[in-house]
Amino acid sequence: AQTVTQSQPEMSVQEAETVTLSCTYDTSESDYYLFWYKQPPSRQMILVIRQEAYKQQNATENRFSVNFQKAAKSFSLKISDSQLGDAAMYFCAYREEETSGSRLTFGEGTQLTVNP
């Protein structure tokens, strides 16, 4: 079974600084997708960024970017110019297309605090 591990239960960053959240996963598949979701205090689940495993180029969405290392099975999220609104729980998620159907497998989450 696929597993997703987020080894940092909590992280903090100063406003306007940069922070990196770590995620590793375990799979024997070559074709899959990776996601970062944000869960603010409202407990909504908001997509931050996604990465296709077959793409070598790292995904970027404004201040959010990923460092995807396929061989190392690592998928970290970098938040640049952190803002108070970035404070949330961040979940890394994996999805495989074939044997597991379309389910998302989530990590345990990293609680990000942004200090003014």
Chain positions contacting other proteins, by CB under 8 A = 4, 33, 35, 37, 42-47, 50, 52, 91, 93, 95, 97, 101-109
Nearer to other proteins, 18 or 54 (CB): 54
> What is the CB neighbour count within 10 angstroms for residue 10?
10
Total length of the chain: 116
Shortest CB 26 distance to other proteins, Å:
15
Nearer to other proteins, 3 or 18 (CB): 3
Shortest CB 56 distance to other proteins, Å:
16
Nearer to other proteins, 16 or 47 (CB): 47
Shortest CB 39 distance to other proteins, Å:
9
CA distances, 67 to each of 64, 75, 85, 102 (Å): 10, 6, 22, 24
Beta bridge partners of 24: 5, 74
Which of 60-90 are b and which e, b meaning 16 or more Cβ less than 10 Å from the residue's Cβ? eeeebbbebeeeebebbbbbeebeeebbbbb
Beta bridge partners of 37: 47, 91
Shortest CB 40 distance to other proteins, Å:
12
Nearer to other proteins, 64 or 106 (CB): 106
